[in-house]
Amino acid sequence: MDIAIDTNAPEPVYEQIVRQVHEGVKSGNLKPGTPLPTVRQLAADLTFNRNTVARAYKMLEDQGVIVTAGRKGTFVRQHAAEEVAELKAGHALRVMRQMIETLIARGLSLEEISGAFNNALGLEASKGQRP
């Protein structure tokens, strides 16, 4: 498992680890049952404090992405890809709800918001189709 940490990024190190494990699961590079390095090993590889890596692993375990089996090690869970997809969908929904609340507070109607959303989707779709 290759984790690359950007120390200049505003995203905390533990969140970078979590995000990169999510990306590995989503892409299929981290398949169910894949062993992960121990907290100690990953901390040494990244030259970061073990507590930082432990925090990332705890988050991943709480999210149902990995499982720790004592001395046997830490592994990607069987249904990790589904868990990651649900987490991402939930995040997207929260962000959209916040944006809708902001737009309503600024005086836009639901119809205007829906039209703007559909327009934005159309613009994004057409960008992806350009040669």
- Tell me the pLDDT tens digit for each residue of 10-56: 999 999 999 999 999 999 999 999 999 999 999 999 999 999 999 99
Domain span holding position 122: 82-129
CA dist 75 and 77 (Å) reads 6
Query: Which helix (H) or strand (E) segment is 75 a member of?
Result: strand 74-76
Q: Is 65 helix (H, G, I), strand (E, B) or coil?
A: coil
96 and 51 together in one domain? no
20 and 55 together in one domain? yes
> pLDDT, tens digit, for every residue of 88-131?
999 999 999 999 999 999 999 999 999 999 998 886 555 555 44
At 89 the pLDDT is 93
27 and 66 together in one domain? yes
> pLDDT, tens digit, for every residue of 51-90?
999 999 999 999 999 999 988 999 999 999 999 999 999 9
Q: Which of 66, 5, 4 is nearest to 31 (CA)?
A: 66
The single-letter code of the amino acid at 77 is R
**Residue with tokens 């190190």, as numbered in its chain:** 13
At 131 the pLDDT is 44
Residue 72 lies in a domain: yes
